[in-house]
Structure 1
Amino acid sequence: MDLLQLRYFQAVARFEHISRAAEELRVAQPSLSRAIARLEADLGSPLFDRQGRRVRLNQYGAMFLRHVDRALSELDDGRRAVREARDTGLGRVSVASETLLTVIPLLGGFRAAYPRADVRLFQSTAEEMDRRLRAREVDFCVASQPLTGTPFESVELAREEVLLAVPHGHWLDGRESVTIPEIADEPFVTTRLGHWQRTLLDRLFAAEGLTPLLSCEGDEPGASQDMISAGLGIGLIPVVSRQVGTHVRVPVAWVRMGAPDCHRVLTLVWNRDSYLSEAALKFREFTTSRPFMTHRLPDPRREHSHDPS
């Protein structure tokens, strides 16, 4: 039994087709078939039920595959650890987040503290983050929605209120709070399905037996505030969006939502079965050992005056 046989077995198990696996591996089909046959001989048991070139994992094959997946994953992690230690000193840390705006201060602070770390950032929906963690494509996700599963561990980073942003001059401009039924006919600027803003909006309306009216669905949550300011609709915006980057001066008015649980919970999520480089371990320590963000609610007088101080 050798490493190449295990790689071949893993590919055949994934495709359950000899020809497709051979094409993926770029090997001759007879060579692949012989390698699988030698592996089965070493184990003393067939791993597949065969129907021509079509094969199906049997109970022994499914059992063996679980161990092979773990073993090859460990080897891949070891290769990655050596490469990262050689190339960057601290290694690499890969982070996925639904919105880049949320993690800019965090990653900026981490890079300043650990300049030898190689930091990679990916923008992903909740579904993509789940897949990336399971496939070990990223070390961490900064998630605004629950990511749950057997291999996942998480820690809460922050809990912040989500406000309603409206254009200046809107009939809600100056209101302290508003309920969902009051805005049932208002057009909303929001994100596509899969992003946390859309999930929150749909949940708040569903609790009242209503469906939101959408004027714009986008992939970049950070652009929502600009579209609201331009009069394209109203929308749910977390407090942090007022305090980071250029959006701090985008002219909108802010209204509290008179609805329960109108907030966002940020969590740091990782796969406990994954290898973590020294850079990744430093990132987790850096992120969880200090307040992630602090927020104060907007002062309407300063929002309307656009005081640059």
Structure 2
Amino acid sequence: MLQLRYFQAVARFEHISRAAEELNVAQPSLSRTIARLEAELGSPLFDRQGRRIRLNQYGVVFLRHVDRALSELDDGRRALREARETGLGRVGVASETLLTVAHLMGSFRAAFPGAEVRLFQSNVEEMDRQLRAGEVDFCVASQPLTAANLDSVELLREEVLLAVPRGHWLDGRESVTIAEIADEPFVTTRRGNWQRALLERLFATEGLTPRLSCEGDEPGASQDMISTGLGIGLIPAMSRLAGTDSHVPVAWVHVAAPNCYRVLTLVWNRDAYQSEAARRFREFTVSRPLMTHRRPDPRLGRESV
């Protein structure tokens, strides 16, 4: 098992020194362990060019089986640990924005206080990796995930609106086309987040490229940036003002473009072990609409993003 753990780490980093640092072992000891494993298997697993190593075709094949084997062993350890404990075990959830699932997670904790909950903010690439590695049990995703052996269920489908600062020339308009806003500066997220992906997809359909004035990592902050006049932006309909008195004043405009909506899905690895907490979380989440877990923010006079 130690050889397999060491091989998995070296394969991930393709660098002996970095893998040794991650494993907290001496580099010569790690090199000898990999050499013994290759001798036992009768095949080299890496191509070596000086101090650089690359996983070769045999290593790629072997790594797939090692990942599955070690994942099963890790699941077995978790099952034993949870069998010894009185709680429900742990459930890990990743989401592109924590504000989207904050009330959902709070409702679940209130319903199942014996469950240990871990919440991660991740972009779509990180979600794929976290599901493969077993770091999370579920992802609440606004974009398709590509990892193998995934199941999903739709939680919410909602229109995405254009938010503009008060006094903007679009303030008061019912709808707008992409061509009309081709030269407007946009507040959006970095690549890897759903807002950015949707913006670029809508503009690409018209053969255009959006102008960006602000890029961030937290989609929930976009509305605040727009209200200051930094630009306009795409915001999910659930964030529309609940009343007229708000600390984040923006105007809302429909986008006259097909597929200008967001789909939130709950995604999990069908082959991965799930604790009792994880099983309860899935049942809890899919048994009621996501909007029922949301409540107005009295400080802002709007629903949380």
The alpha carbon displacement at 1:148 in A equals 2.3
The alpha carbon displacement at 1:121 in A equals 0.7
Q: 1-side partners of 2:15 and 2:188: how far apart?
A: 43
Say if 1:139 and 1:280, in contact at 8 Å, map to a contact too: yes
Q: What one-letter code is carried by the residue in structure 2 that aligns with 1:158?
A: L
Percent identical among aligned pairs is 78
What secondary structure sits across from 2:291 in the alignment?
Answer: coil
The alpha carbon displacement at 1:273 in A equals 2.3
How many pairs were matched up? 291
Distance 1:274 1:182, change over 3 A: same
Q: 2-side partners of 1:274 and 1:265: how far apart?
A: 24
- Look up the match of 1:121: 119
Distance 1:24 1:187, change over 3 A: closer
- Look up the match of 1:216: 214
- Look up the match of 1:144: 142
What secondary structure sits across from 1:269 in the alignment?
Answer: strand
TM-score (norm 1): 0.81
From 217, 239, 242, the counterpart of 1:241:
239
Q: Deviations over 1:199-240 (max 9, x none)?
A: 111111111111112111111111111111112211111012
RMSD of the TM alignment (CA)?
A: 3.2
Structure 1, unpaired ranges of 5+: 295-305
- Look up the match of 2:129: 131
Q: 2-side partners of 1:112 and 1:235: how far apart?
A: 35
Q: What one-letter code is carried by the residue in structure 2 that aligns with 1:111?
A: R
- Look up the match of 1:192: 190
Distance 1:99 1:54, change over 3 A: closer
What secondary structure sits across from 2:81 in the alignment?
Answer: helix
What secondary structure sits across from 1:293 in the alignment?
Answer: helix
Alignment of 1:1-309 (within 5 A): 3-11=1-9, 25=23, 45-46=42-43, 48=45, 63-86=61-84, 89-242=87-240, 250-293=248-291
Say if 2:189 and 2:218, in contact at 8 Å, map to a contact too: yes
Q: Deviations over 1:13-38 (max 9, x none)?
A: 55677777666655567766776676
Q: Deviations over 1:33-85 (max 9, x none)?
A: 77667666766x44558879988777766554433332221111121233345
What secondary structure sits across from 1:204 in the alignment?
Answer: helix
The alpha carbon displacement at 1:116 in A equals 1.0
> Highest CA radius of gyration, 1 or 2?
1
Q: Deviations over 1:238-291 (max 9, x none)?
A: 0122379xx976221111111111000111111222211111111111111222
